[in-house]
Chain A
Amino acid sequence: MDWSALKLSLELAAWTVLILLPIGIGVGRLLAVRQFSGKAWVEALLALPLVLPPTVLGYYLLVAMGGASPVGQFYESLVGRPLVFNFEGLLVASVIFNLPFAIQPIQRGFEAIAPEVRDAAACCGLSAWRTLWRIELPLAWSGLLSAVVLTFAHTLGEFGVVLMVGGNIPGETKTIAIAIYDRVQAFDNAGAGIMSAALLLISLVAIGAAYFASSRAPARRHG
């Protein structure tokens, strides 16, 4: 068992969830509540990581964040080291390829709230923040939970994008999915098997917990 790879994967997944949750709430709510021209294109763009081969996405991220790109150069001048092939680069890539896994469930959660409930909150004198905190988030919580679980589990299992953007640097960018691949390449089937089982167990527990929680959620639609 490559404990450092597992630790790195869990850290990456936790940071990705932490960063994507507020983004998911902001963008998901906007897409659920507002109508604007070009909305379908925005939704399509955000869903792109679902259908794009991970190597293609990884390639574009590598080009966009590499030392030759303005983003990469700016980051290097600021921090003193390149963005790609280290944890920060991996995190940026992870946030981007997980966008649909975070935004879509949250958007569905907000869409399921009857519009009159928001209107009622306004007529009760609730501020926009209080409406979000006290009314909308509790009603959309199963969407939030799905977003957290899907993002977390998907980050643990991602392979192509991680390999393209992060490479395979132990302790820095070598995640558990890459460690499994490494073990198989080295004909260490037992090691690969243990790590695969660990990954399977973590994912199953996470998804199972999410389904269990949402099955206990009361009917959210009212009236």
Chain B
Amino acid sequence: MAEQGIHVRLQQPVPIPLDAALDCAPGEVVALVGPSGSGKTSILRAIAGLLQVRQGTIRINGDTWFDAGQSVNLPARRRRVGYVFQNYALFPHLSALHNVMEALLEHAPAERERRAREALSRVRLAGLEQRLPRALSGGQQQRVAVARALAREPRVLLLDEPFSAVDRATRQRLYRELAELRRELAMPVILVTHDLDEALMLADRLCVLHQGRTLQTGTPHQVMTRPDSVEVAQLVGLRNVFRAGVIGHDEVRGITVIEWRGHRLEARLQPAFAAGQQVTWAIPQGHLILHRRDRPSLGERENPVSGAVIECISLGENVALTVAVNGPGRPPLFLNLPAHTARRNGIVAGVTIGISLLAEGIHLMPADESRTPARPA
């Protein structure tokens, strides 16, 4: 069973640096996330056979598509991949029907047309078969591209930023459609996106990439709340990242105690870090609790800290707070609140507020040596 699904290992120093390891099981959706230029599309192109990498292997369900050591490199047209390109790359001179029929050449003409019509009706494009791509909306073009990619019964489905070229409302609709469609898909699906929210919504697992290197692969929850490194934490948008020292562990209570700016903070038990060790720690937004100024509650006993609001920016229905804990000049704590909560609690720049740092959310990582020691945490 270990051989089922797609297994990708790619390495090369130039021209596009890559050091990637990626596995995706049948029916699973793995999202490749990372900033622009992190190698996401290059990995997809290598899987499709459109980019040859210096070293590595690509195996799918026990078959080898690429093995640099054995000089195996199956050409793209023989790999049976379904590829939805960022701009869909429909054949502009062919109708929607003929775009899909081109992917069905192995069948007799009558069968090709029958299957193409079926594929188009599956993506709700029945009746638009004869339209040229330029006569279709962005969302409809995307569906033709999906129908064309799936028509060939591909062994892997590759989606390269498939939602980036459509407006917001269409995108929301396409998300739902993809979520529905994926229940029927039995092949591995690899989705490239730079939009973390999109990845969280659609993927079973995230694979975080930076400069061609896969940094961490895991469930969205794992990656978002328990990043392997400071680099991953920053890439997934965790802003509250600080340094601390480990004081010790209490296995009975299931906690690890750290010291941060004179506070003893209780974190969930993380015995991999020894007492006395310097660590970096992070906490997701969802584990920060604002103390109500009018009515203190029980949860406030958990790792309470206080600080002055140094910045209070309104972002639509939310407010982004920057809080100086233990005085200015140190990396601040960032907190997002609903605007009505901020209003009700009278939070404006200059006031002092109390915040609890929930133990469950405090995640320890190896100390980040790249951060300048001159800047105390």
Interface residues of A (CB under 8 A from B): 114, 116-117, 119-127, 130, 134-135, 138-139, 218-223
A-B contact count, CB below 8 Å? 84
A120 proximity list for chain B (CB < 8 A): 83, 85, 89-91, 148
Interface residues of B (CB under 8 A from A): 45, 48-50, 75-83, 85-93, 102-103, 105-106, 132-134, 148-149, 152, 165
Q: Give me 28 A-to-B residue pairs in the complex whose CB atoms sit less than 8 angstroms apart, sorted by A's number.
A: A114-B87, A114-B89, A119-B50, A120-B83, A120-B89, A121-B102, A122-B49, A122-B75, A123-B77, A124-B103, A125-B77, A125-B105, A126-B105, A130-B105, A134-B102, A135-B91, A138-B93, A139-B92, A218-B93, A218-B132, A218-B134, A219-B92, A219-B134, A220-B93, A222-B87, A222-B89, A223-B86, A223-B165
Known: A123-B48, A126-B77. A223 touches B88 (CB 8 A): yes
A77 to chain B, nearest CB (A): 45
Q: Which residue of B lies closest to A217 (CB)?
A: B93
Find out whether the CB atom of B89 lies under 8 angstroms from the CB atom of A122: no
Q: Which residue of A lies closest to B103 (CB)?
A: A124
Q: Which residue of A lies closest to B148 (CB)?
A: A124
15 additional A-B residue pairs with CB within 8 Å, beyond A116-B85, A220-B93, A223-B165: A119-B45, A119-B85, A120-B85, A120-B91, A120-B148, A123-B77, A124-B105, A125-B77, A125-B78, A127-B77, A134-B102, A218-B132, A220-B92, A222-B134, A223-B87
Find out whether the CB atom of B106 lies under 8 angstroms from the CB atom of A125: yes
Q: Which residue of A lies closest to B48 (CB)?
A: A123
B345 to chain A, nearest CB (A): 49
Q: Which residue of B lies closest to A138 (CB)?
A: B93
A126 to B83: give the CA distance in the assembly, Å: 14
B193 to chain A, nearest CB (A): 17
A129 to chain B, nearest CB (A): 11
B78 proximity list for chain A (CB < 8 A): 125
B49 proximity list for chain A (CB < 8 A): 122
B80 proximity list for chain A (CB < 8 A): 125
A120 to B158: give the CA distance in the assembly, Å: 12
A120 to chain B, nearest CB (A): 4
Q: Choose from B76, B133, B165 the contact partner of A119 (Cβ within 8 Å).
A: B76
A139 to B90: give the CA distance in the assembly, Å: 12
Find out whether the CB atom of A123 lies under 8 angstroms from the CB atom of B82: yes
A119 to B77: give the CA distance in the assembly, Å: 9
Q: Which residue of B lies closest to A223 (CB)?
A: B87
A222 proximity list for chain B (CB < 8 A): 87-90, 92, 133-134
A220 to B132: give the CA distance in the assembly, Å: 12
B86 proximity list for chain A (CB < 8 A): 116, 223
Q: Which residue of B lies closest to A120 (CB)?
A: B89
A222 to B135: give the CA distance in the assembly, Å: 12
Q: Which residue of A lies closest to B76 (CB)?
A: A122
B88 proximity list for chain A (CB < 8 A): 222-223
A114 to chain B, nearest CB (A): 7
Known: A116-B85, A119-B50, A120-B85. A126 touches B92 (CB 8 A): no
A221 proximity list for chain B (CB < 8 A): 92
A13 to chain B, nearest CB (A): 29
Q: Which residue of A lies closest to B87 (CB)?
A: A223
Known: A119-B50, A219-B134. A124 touches B102 (CB 8 A): yes
A115 to B256: give the CA distance in the assembly, Å: 54
Q: Which residue of B lies closest to A119 (CB)?
A: B50
A217 to chain B, nearest CB (A): 10
A87 to B234: give the CA distance in the assembly, Å: 74
Give the most central of B45, B79, B83: most A CB within 10 Å: B83
A114 to B89: give the CA distance in the assembly, Å: 8
Find out whether the CB atom of B152 lies under 8 angstroms from the CB atom of A124: yes
A67 to chain B, nearest CB (A): 50
A119 proximity list for chain B (CB < 8 A): 45, 48, 50, 76, 83, 85, 89
Q: Which residue of A lies closest to B81 (CB)?
A: A123
A159 to B103: give the CA distance in the assembly, Å: 50
B91 proximity list for chain A (CB < 8 A): 117, 120-121, 135
B87 to chain A, nearest CB (A): 3
Find out whether the CB atom of B87 lies under 8 angstroms from the CB atom of A116: yes
